[in-house]
Amino acid sequence: MRTALLSSIGAAALALALAGPASAQSNRFTEFDTDKNGTISQSEYNAGVQKAGVIKRYDTNGDGMIDATEFAAAKLDAARYGDMSAFDANTDKMIDADEFGNRLFTASRGANAGTIGEGEGLTQEQFSTTEDIYDE
């Protein structure tokens, strides 16, 4: 009985690792999770941000960065993401793609702080807390 239980848990875990429940995982999550390990690392996240074109949407002058004017026009949810200084890690008054990705990653993680360790990736649940930024 114990063996049967363990093997059914094993089968479920394997199914989760292979594909995840189709209903619970968004296509965007699986797109971002390029190594398919079920979590999104910081580097996977930043690559996904680039691919999703979210910078382009806010970067109205097309220089590849978000300046203060563009940031204000983007009207991001300050309660979730903070103000421009929360993004602009090197304080050059411009948000580059990595700064944008880093901030969103941190904001996604923060919603369920403590459920994963430093250096680990985002779960589907964490990712979903800020996923609406990719919808237009």
Contact region for Ca ion (CB under 5 A) — 1-9, 34-42, 72-80, 104-112?
34-42
Contact status: 90 vs Ca ion (CB under 5 A): yes
* Residue 61 touches Ca ion, criterion: CB under 5 A: yes
Footprint (CB under 5 A) of Ca ion, residues 97-136: 99
3-state secondary structure of 120: coil
Q: How far apart are CA 40 and CA 127, in angstroms?
A: 8
* Alpha carbons 37 and 68: distance in angstroms, whole number: 36
Question: Least distance from C-beta 89 to Ca ion, angstroms?
Answer: 6
Name the residue nearer to Ca ion (CB basis): 7 or 92.
92
Shortest distance (Å) from residue 104 CB to Ca ion? 14
Q: Is 123 helix (H, G, I), strand (E, B) or coil?
A: coil
Rounded Cα gap, residues 5 and 81, in angstroms: 43
Q: Does 69 bind Ca ion (CB under 5 A)?
A: no
In terms of residues, how long is the chain? Answer: 136
Closer Cβ to Ca ion, 2 or 75, answer by number: 75
d(CA 52, CA 28): 9
Residues of this chain that interact with Ca ion (CB under 5 A) are: 33, 35, 37, 59, 61, 63, 65, 88, 90, 92, 94, 99
